[in-house]
Amino acid sequence: MYKEERLAEAAALRGEIRHHEYLYYVLDAPEITDAEYDRFMVRLREIEAEFPEDVPEDSPTQRVGGRAAPDFTQVTHLTPLLSLGNIFSFDELKAFDERVRGGLPKGSRIDYVMEPKIDGLACSLIYENGKFVRAATRGDGSVGENVTANVRTIRSIPLVLTGDYPELLDVRGEVYMPRHAFMKLNEERAGKGEDEFANPRNAAAGSLRQLDPNVTAKRSLSFFAYFVGDGAREKHSESLAMLKSFGFKVSENYKVVSSIEEAWDYIENFSAKRTALSYDTDGAVIKVDAVYQQRILGATGKDPRWAIAFKYPPEQAETTLEDIDWRVGRTGVLTPTAVLTLVKLSGSTVSRATLHNVDFIRDKDIRIGDRVIINKAGEIIPEVLRVEKGRRTGEEKEVTVPSLCPECGWSVTRGNETAIRCTNPHCPALGREGLIHFASRDAMDIDGCGPAVITQLVDAGLICDAADLFSLNKEDLVKIERMGEKSAENLLSAIAKSRENELDRLLFALGIRHVGAKVARTLAMEFKSIKNLMEADEERLAAIRNIGDKIAESVVTWFSVPSNLDLIERLKTAGVKMDFTQSVTEVNSFYGKALVFTGTLPTLGRAEAQGMALAVGAKVSGSVSRKTDYVIAGEDAGSKLTKAGQLGVKIIDETEFLKIVRGGE
């Protein structure tokens, strides 16, 4: 009797918790406090701990468990996840309507469903008999990656459906990160000294591909359902209503329209509303409502003929350029940043914008006091697009390029470069910025050792150069502000882990002038050890493909400086790996091929993708030419994609790239 009573209580608690999760995560209308919700969960866990054999897989307590599959195993979609073509004007929208009408019987009534285009990551969810069983990313549209363990942690996704559901349901939607969650995440990462995410879409993609679902669970991801494959109703609008009845979050901004003029009205009206939303959108989607008409129209390649996306132009704002701040980087280069009068842009307050270099300022004739137009375009720091010269009053001041370094007071030089550079080899900024670079993700990848932490360690006198990082101890670290015992242990663990990095990471981390990640990889693969590299002369180095005289001279010069040799010796003593032992196989189809990446890839960062290509012996270039073998294109690919098409270069997407780089071709 006791067990039956407890199991009945547990069942009631699960129903209560699901109800309140729906109110909170789907409707944004909570009826109880967080503390009351926590009490329900605590009680449910107590009962389930007594009877673990009776805990159902769909219990609210089971959202997080286990680990994601290594390398995210591939799954085949029940029906393809199609991508959408893009349009940018009313004329293009009318042309789409004409194509739809031309593909259907003459005189057909056509209704369209208008929806926001959520800026996130497309995902397919499979439900069997009302229970969530699998989630997969879009991939190439036919095959995606299994992200079930991570998607289970998203609380706006029901684990059990309510209502009259079909035996099999294939739900399509967008995993996204709300703006407030994105801001909070970046604040936390900045506080830990970690790199910030560029935008909510990148943050969502990175969060969904975590190997540890517990990390994903902390990222406050959400999900909008916007389509049904298997299990759809006769009309798309009816499917959306059905999804809502099942407990899914469906955009409150969708609308059925009966003409292309009404569709355009929606696009114009939604443009004004979208900045006030709690999530990012970059356009509006128009879909034929009747499913039988969708089937008649079909698809061309990966794009449906019955749907298309209108893309809004990047948001811009006008403000005043109040001053210019010159910052010294790790190589001594002075970079200008515009200090702006506060202005709202893309849902956030902007006070700074990049100015790139001196030539950029001169080419655009930028002056202090100018009214300028800035464009965020998905980046953290916006760019100054242009000056409103017609708004000048005569009070504006021409920009004076510094003659002295703002950090140390030494003279600066420009030479034949675009950049101006501090001449002091011991400038404090070089040391601090060099350490930040050394620990960065693409270099030694020391997690938790970002700019803020490096600055604290330098200011506390705990480190002066890279070798000092490997002699840090817990007792010293816990004295640092906001560095508790757990944070100190995590940092020391990350430092210890970095000792095992391959030689190419170390060479890049050292900050040798002209030696980027790609050159570092080439040198590591060629010489196999830092000892061999140090013994090479300029002639030997310059003979290597893609190295040349300038890089050869820079490398030889760096290794001729006694303090640099001392640093290498101290790093070696600290146990840092000085060899390249990673195998590079000529079997891979990318071996020796020239690759160019363009646009935003769905799941991979640019540096990560390039690193994977280099690891199998590919050559990565920044520009497309007749010597290019492959162009890997992501979203918003620009002129490189156009040029590749003109030259007949093979163009592939991320999914095909991953297939080849993992030995699938």
Residues identified as active-site: 117
List the Cα angle 228/230/233 in 5-degree steps.
Answer: 60
Alpha helices (runs of H) in 26-111, residue ranges in sequence order: 34-50, 90-102
Helix H or strand E encompassing 317: strand 316-328
φ/ψ of residue 485, rounded to 5: -60, -45
Q: By C-alpha distance, which of 215, 125, 141 is closest to 174? A: 125
Amino acid at 176: Y
Torsion of CA 352, 358, 360, 365, to 10 degrees: 90
Let me know: does 329 contact 433? Beta carbons within 8 Å.
yes
Q: What's the token pair of residue 300?
A: 């061309």
Reported residue count of the chain is 665
Per-residue b or e along 454-467, where b marks 16 or more CB atoms closer than 10 Å to that residue's CB: bebbbeeebbebbb
Q: List strand residue ranges (DSSP E) for 121-221, in order.
A: 121-128, 131-137, 143-145, 168-176
At residue 572, the 3 state secondary structure works out as: helix
Distance (Å, whole) CA 41 – CA 60: 8
Output the DSSP codes for 495-527: HHHHTT--HHHHHHHTT-TT--HHHHHHHHHHH
Q: What's 24's DSSP letter?
A: I
Q: By C-alpha distance, which of 501, 536, 504, 502 is closest to 518? A: 504
Distance (Å, whole) CA 344 – CA 315: 10
At residue 545, the 3 state secondary structure works out as: coil
Q: For the beta carbon of residue 312, count every other beta carbon within 10 angstroms.
A: 15
Q: By C-alpha distance, which of 232, 44, 40, 204 is closest to 137? A: 204
Q: What's the token pair of residue 196?
A: 């910030």
Helix H or strand E encompassing 387: strand 383-387
At residue 327, the 3 state secondary structure works out as: strand
Q: SS3 for 444-503, per residue?
A: CCCCCCCHHHHHHHHHCCCCCCHHHHHHCCHHHHCCCCCCCHHHHHHHHHHHHHHCCCCH
